[in-house]
Amino acid sequence: MRKDYGKKTSWEKNQFIWGWFFILPTLLGLIILNIIPIFQTIYQSFFKTGDFGKGNIFVGFSNYTRMFQDKAIWQALWNTVKYAIVEVPFSIVIALILAVFLNRKMAGRAIYRTIFFLPMVAAPAAIAMVWRWLYNSEFGLINHLIGRKINWISNPDIAIFAIAVIGIWSIVGYNMVLFLAGLQEVPRDYYEAASIDGASGIFQLLKITVPLISPTIFFVAVTRVIGAFQVFDLIFMVMDKTNPALIKTQSLVYLFYRYSFTEANKGYGSAIIVLLLVVILILTGFQLFAQKKWVHYN
């Protein structure tokens, strides 16, 4: 008797239905909170809006034409790039080093892990308040320790890098936890064999650890690039509106906030977000292409 392999059994149908039932809340949240707003933002970018979204006027590509001629947009994009160049690699390297050390058996390991992860759960307002005090040019702790008076957040040449340091401090604990999860999957046999052959710790890190957790490194790199290009809260809360360095510190998302909510032009703000979306898609696509050369899944 021939068996029909294409026909599903009642048990398989039941599993299929329950599978969709369990992912339905997440799927609905993704559609309502992420996918629909993307299309709404693209649609809104072709309009000029008034206060509280009133008086929408279709202007076609005028917002995009204005955006490409707006020097503030390109300055904000360059500020965002500089922030990402500093924050992303340093947060990854520091987190990886911390994860390697805290993956070993040592006294107080759980306490150290908790301490490094605490900035991730701290309120952004509290973080901004503490770092504004640390960066204070008159009585800040950093200037007191180095014995020099440096205007960390009011000097246009270094303000964005000072903000990036806060970003590194805030995210390094989260990256460390992800790397710790990846290190748990690395067999200890590799390290024991390398130690017997006389391999140094640096050699083991570069030739064993990094290749074997390269998928985790790739995931962290992609998410951190996306996160860095969306920086807003640190700049908004650390930088004062009267700060002369704000022009060379404001990011694309900060400009979106300014145009959309301060100047009540959500159409132009939406065009800025569409630009940011395109930039992130290009960078993510480049990372996906480049990962074929250095990420090892087997």
Bridge partners, residue 47, by sequence: 58
pLDDT digits (tens, 9 = 90+) for 80-97: 999 999 999 999 999 999
* CATH code of the domain occupying 62-294: 1.10.3720.10
In the chain, domain spans: 62-294
The mean per-residue pLDDT over the stretch 27-51 comes to 88
Query: Mean pLDDT over all residues of the chain?
Result: 88
Q: Per-residue pLDDT for 78 more than 80? A: yes
pTM comes to: 0.87
| Band (1; pLDDT cuts 50, 70, 90) | very low
Residue type (1 letter), 10: S
Please write down the HEC assignment for all residues of the chain: CCCCCCCCCHHHHHHHHHHHHHHHHHHHHHHHHHHHHHHHHHHHCCEECCHHHCCCEECCCHHHHHHHHCHHHHHHHHHHHHHHHHHHHHHHHHHHHHHHHHCCCCCCHHHHHHHHHHHHHCCHHHHHHHHHHHCCCCCCHHHHHHCCCCCCCCCCCCHHHHHHHHHHHHHHHHHHHHHHHHHCCCCHHHHHHHHHCCCCHHHHHHHHHHHHCHHHHHHHHHHHHHHHHCCCHHHHHHCCCCCCCCCCCCCHHHHHHHHHHHCCCHHHHHHHHHHHHHHHHHHHHHHHHHHHHHCCCC
Task: Record the tokens describing residue 249, joined without a space.
Answer: 């510190």
Give the mean pLDDT of 167-172.
93
Between 16 and 288, the higher pLDDT residue: 288
**Residue 47 backbone phi and psi in degrees, to 5:** -125, 155
CA end-to-end span of the chain: 42
